[in-house]
Structures are given as structure tokens and as C-alpha cells.
Amino acid sequence: MRRIIFALVAAGALAGCVSKKRYDDLVLEQQRVSEQKDSLVNDVLATTQMMADINSDLVAVKGLGVSPVSTSDRPLTGTAENRAVMLGKVREVIARLNAAEQQIVAGKKRISAMSATYASEKKQLSEQLDAYQKTITDLKASAEQQEALITQQKQQITTLAGRVDTLTQQSAVLSTEKAAVRDTLTHVVDLANTVYYAVGTKDELVKRGILVPEGSKFLVFGSKTLEPARELKPELFQRLDRRRDTVLTVPEPNKEYKIITRQSPTYLSANIQQNGRVKGDLHVTSPAFWDAGKYLILVRD
């Protein structure tokens, strides 16, 4: 009988120990779950603040918002430095969104590990994290489109800059060629308007090789005439410009001079004698005077 009593007492004591251990375990489990819940709630609050900060960053970036902007709606403006700053800010926002996405995935795993006792809290937290995850996805898509847009604009500007450089080089070449053509044309026009003038006695002009005697004479038969040399050398003449040089001076204005070449006195306002000779300086009234030839030879009698 005594043994039975001891056995019952021992069994009761053991049962009491087991119940106390179970109670302590439940208390610890309750504390752990409560701590997890508090931690998740803090994470959700922190995520909420982080989402607000990220959205503010997106709005703060000049020219950027949540909605993407197409290249047709935005002109290529701003300096290269500003575009680089904008691109850096967008990429920083994308990095933060990626970090937030990883935190939400980790939070979902922690919610799944929570006790079934907090089913309603688990559902509420999961739905809130799902909403945040969708917002992050939308913001990432917007930021990535903005990144692509800025990158595309940089490429377009680089291409346009290259075209401008090419056009500038071509313009420089064309300017050089234009100047060369202008110089050539000026030279051709100047050359076309260059005329030559020589005056002197018969002997002087023959000696200089400007006039040559032609014909033959034997005793009293035949005769010789003075004609311009077949190859007249410009360096033997005075050079004139038919557009500007309208007064041709003679060394002795009181003497008479005969025009040996084919220019017509019609275009001269000089003292023209009845024998066709001229007296005094020659005043050319029209450049057409030189149409008959660019060499003029005057012989003093």
C-alpha cells in the first residue's frame, strides 16, 4: 500500500513538472511570435517610408515623373552634365527599388513562418507587402524607361554632334573651295579685262620689237609699212584695266598720234584730226573700245 501511495505521489509530481514545462514553452512561443509580429510591423512601416522617399526622389529628378515620357514629347535640351546627373539619379533610384524588392521578399518569408494563431495579421501584412511589391514594380518600370530615354537622348545628341562636326568640316572645305573658286574667277575676270598700251615714235617702237616693217621696196618701186609684231609681248607694254583705266596719256600732247591697231576712235572723246590721227591724251568713253583687240599701239609722227 505504501508503495502505491509513493507511486501516485511521484506520478502527480511528474505530471505537474510536465504541465509547467509545457506552460513555459507556450509563453516563450507567444513572446517569439509577438516579437516577430512587431518586427514585421516595423518592417512594413520602414518600407512605407522608403517607398515615400523613393517616390519623392523620382519627382525630384528634373524632368522626370512616375509616367514615362516619349522622345517625341520631350525636346533634346539641357547640358551633357545635367543629363549625366539625371541618369545617375535614376540609376540610384533603381538600385534602391531593387533593395526594397529584396526586403519585401524576405518579409514575405518571415510572415509565412509566423504561427497560424495570427492568421488575420499574416493576411493583412501579406496583402500590404503585395501592394508595395506592385508599386515597386511599377516604379521600376517607369525609372527604367526614363533611364532608357536619357540614354537614347545621349546617343541621339552624340550622333547629332557627330553630324554637326561633319557638316562643320564640310562647310570649312566648301568655304575653302568657294574662296579658291572666287579667287580663280577674280583672276580670270581680271585677266579678261587686262589690256595693253604702247606709245612712241616709229623708231622707238621698232627697236622695242612692237612694230615690224613689212613689204618690200626696190629703188622707187614697192613700199614698206609698219605693222604690229606677230607675237606681242605683254612686258613691252603698259598694263591697263579696261574697267577702270579710261584716260590714256601720251608723252607729248601737242603732237599727233596714229592708231596702228584696230581700235576705233568712235569710243574716244579725244581731239581727232581729219586724217584720223588723235592729238592729246585719249579719253575712252566705253570699254567696247577694246573689243577690237587688247593691244593698243600709238605712233607719234
CA atoms within a 13 Å half-sphere pointing along the CA-CB vector of 37: 16
Residue with cell 577690237: 292
d(CA 182, CA 188) in angstroms, rounded, equals 10
Q: What is the pTM of this model?
A: 0.46
pLDDT at 172 over 60: yes
Could you read off the pLDDT of 82-99 as tens digits, one per residue? Answer: 777 777 777 777 887 787
Could you read off the pLDDT of 278-292 as tens digits, one per residue? Answer: 888 999 999 999 999
**For residue 60, what pLDDT is reported?**
63
Mean pLDDT over all residues of the chain?
A: 76
Q: Which of 146, 140, 138, 143 is nearest to 71 (CA)?
A: 146
pLDDT bracket for residue 233 (50, 70, 90)? very high
pLDDT bracket for residue 75 (50, 70, 90)? very low
Q: Which of 280, 220, 208 is nearest to 251 (CA)?
A: 280
d(CA 127, CA 244) in angstroms, rounded, equals 98
d(CA 112, CA 105) in angstroms, rounded, equals 11
Could you read off the pLDDT of 21-72 as tens digits, one per residue? Answer: 666 666 666 666 666 666 666 766 666 766 677 666 666 654 544 344 444 4
d(CA 37, CA 113) in angstroms, rounded, equals 11
d(CA 155, CA 142) in angstroms, rounded, equals 20
CA angle 41, 44, 46 (to 5 degrees): 110
| 245-267 exposure pattern, b = at least 16 Cβ within 10 A, e = fewer | ebebebeeeeebbbbbbebeeeb
Whether the CB-CB separation of 266 and 276 falls below 8 Å is answered with no
- Over residues 257-285, the mean pLDDT reads 86
pLDDT at 17 over 70: no
Query: Would you tell me how many other CB atoms lie within 10 Å of the CB of residue 232?
Result: 17
Whether the CB-CB separation of 133 and 104 falls below 8 Å is answered with yes
**For residue 222, what pLDDT is reported?**
44
Bridge pairing between strands 271-272 and 278-279: antiparallel
**For residue 239, what pLDDT is reported?**
96
User: All domains of the chain, ordered by start, with CATH?
Assistant: 23-162 (1.20.58), 191-300 (no CATH)
